[in-house]
Amino acid sequence: MFRVAPTSYGGRGCFAVNAIPKNTTIHHVPSPFTAAINRDFRKEVCAYCFAYDLGRAMKVRLDVASLWFCSEECKDTWIVEEDHACDSLISAVLEKIDVAVARARKTMQSGRGIATPSEEYDVDYVPEDIILDGSPESAEEIEEVWDSIAQRIANSAPVAHNPLKNPMLKVRLLALEEIEWDLARLVAVALVRKYIESKPNSSLPSHFSWTSFYQLEPHEVDLLARVPALLESHVRVFLLLLLVMPSEILPHVTVENVRAVVAREAANAFGIWQLPLTSESEFLGSAIFPSASYFNHSCDPNVIKSRDGRSMKFTTARDVNPGEELCISYGMMLDQPLESRRETLKEQWYFDCGCDRCSQELAEAGL
Ligand SMILES: C[S@@+](CC[C@H](N)C(=O)[O-])C[C@H]1O[C@@H](n2cnc3c(N)ncnc32)[C@H](O)[C@@H]1O
């Protein structure tokens, strides 16, 4: 129905191959490649269908990992579709992250100082001066920070059951901030998918494919230019994952792969919003649906995106001609005047909007 091809103004986009009538579902993605519910909502949002009941706690909890569900059915379906499809590694890694972070944060809060996050960590990679000094000012500085992290890791041999050499540093490292904790979960699931896809005879469905995810446009430099402090967060997430990931996934916990995820999460993730969607809806988390990330934004979109449970659906808002680009709206800014609309897009998605409506309004304003 549509194909992905280059646009004249903003990378690749989706173009109708044939005429498409209004109200046609042109794309449906059953489940995210990776997603994370924001920490504040973890107990209030179903980890399978993303239902949110005005702040009421979900009734059903998975025994391992901090995952709550609105029903036994959602829990059982999540176990089969998500966890079993990935050798039960998703629940295992989420549990390991949560135990390590929660324990380290408790230790920090209590001021007790020394913590032993887990006896089972078999790596002792943590560089001693990991708490970065200042913010990166250019792409080169970002490279330098990651190069130095990668080098130090390459130089420190993993030692099985090494006693923690610098326990306070590890506690500081593991006591992630809320958004880092969410990001660690999102990155961890992506790396589990990568590991599963790399196994011989892997039969993961295409929406779980790391290869497809990797083809998305990275936005690391844009993101760090806007929020430089996130570089330290990315490094902390990387080091945490090195410390907690199970041995079979550890080879995939590389600087390159972790950067690949955080760089693609920016500007490609879809918000998980409270439904029905209104300007008052709570922002519950983020999800990545790689095949849906090729839709560019238009301030006069011909496609409506909608979430149904954990799936995303894309439906034409009007009749579309063959060859016409299919565009969605990235956010709720369409009612705003030209200038503030363009500011929002620049601030949140890092681009100067090249859509027809903006071009026309810019020309009318003599800009
Ligand atoms: C989710 S991706 C869309 C697919 C992207 N064009 C690609 O090639 O991968 C979002 C990025 O596409 C570009 N983009 C999307 N809509 C645009 C628009 N209206 N004007 C200019 N660039 C746009 C921006 O670079 C934006 O950060």
Helical packing angle, 89-110 and 230-244, nearest 10°: 120
Amino acid at 61: R
pLDDT score of 193: 98
Q: Please give the distance, rounded to the nearest whole angstrom, from the Cα atom of residue 11 to the centre of ligand 1.
A: 6
Q: What percentage of the chain exceeds 90 in pLDDT? A: 73
213 close to 264: Cβ distance less than 8 angstroms: yes
Residue nearest to atom 22 of ligand 1 (CA): 10
Pocket test for ligand 1, best of 351, 355, 358 (most atoms within 8 A of CB): 351
pLDDT averaged over every residue in the chain: 89
- Considering only CA atoms, give the Rg of the chain: 22
* Residue 344 CA to ligand 1 centre (angstroms): 14
CA-CA distance, 311 to 84, in Å (whole number)? 19
More confident call, 120 vs 11: 11
Between CA 305 and CA 329 the distance in angstroms is 8
pTM value surpassing 0.90 = yes
Q: What is the arithmetic mean of pLDDT over 230-236?
A: 88
Residue with more model confidence, 248 or 123? 248
As beta bridge partners, residue 326 has 14
pLDDT band at 175 (very low <50, low <70, confident <90, very high): confident
Indicate if the pLDDT at residue 272 is higher than 90.
Answer: yes
CA–centroid distance, 297 to ligand 1, in Å, is 7
SS3 17: coil
Where does residue 54 rank: exposed (0-12), middle (13-18), buried (19+ CB within 10 A)?
exposed
On the question of pLDDT at 178 being above 70, the answer is yes
Domains parsed from the chain with CATH numbers: 2-25+295-364 (2.170.270.10), 34-265 (no CATH)
**Measured from the CA of 349, which atom of ligand 1 is nearest?**
27
What is residue 103's predicted lDDT score, i.e. its pLDDT?
85
| Model pLDDT, residue 130 | 53
- Among 8, 15, 213, 217, the mutation site with the greatest number of ligand 1 atoms within 8 A of its Cβ is 217
Long-range contacts of 111-114 (CB under 8 A, 24+ apart): 113/168, 113/171, 114/167, 114/168, 114/171
268 lines ligand 1 (CB under 6 A): yes
Q: Which atom of ligand 1 is nearest to the CA of 294?
A: 4
10 lines ligand 1 (CB under 6 A): yes
pLDDT digits (tens, 9 = 90+) for 21-70: 999 999 999 999 999 999 999 999 999 999 999 999 999 999 888 899 99
pLDDT at residue 256, rounded to an integer: 96
Amino acid at 363: A
Q: What is the distance in angstroms between the CA of the first residue and the CA of the last residue of the chain?
A: 36
Q: Give SS3 for 272.
A: strand
pLDDT, tens digit, 9 for 90 and up, residues 191-201: 999 999 999 99
Atom of ligand 1 at shortest range from CA of 355: 19
Quick check: 11 pLDDT over 90? yes
In the prediction, which pLDDT does 114 show?
44
pLDDT of residue 133: 60
Q: Does residue 329's CB lie within 6 angstroms of at least one atom of ligand 1?
A: no
Instruction: Supply the pLDDT for residue 122.
Output: 36
Q: Which residue has the higher pLDDT, 126 or 210?
A: 210
Residue 313 has what pLDDT? 98
CA of 219 to the centre of ligand 1 (A): 11
CA atoms within 13 A on the CB side of 10: 21
Ligand 1 centroid from CA 276, angstroms: 26
Q: What is the pLDDT of residue 151?
A: 78
> Which residue out of 215, 297, 314 has the highest number of ligand 1 atoms within 8 Å of its CB and is therefore the one to mutate?
297
Task: Identify the band that residue 123 occupies on the pLDDT scale cut at 50, 70 and 90.
Answer: very low
- Bigger pLDDT: 49 or 170? 49
Q: Is 12 in the pocket of ligand 1 (CB under 6 A)?
A: yes
Alpha carbon distance 190, 196 (integer Å) = 10
Average of per-residue pLDDT across 327-338: 96
What's the pLDDT at 64? 85
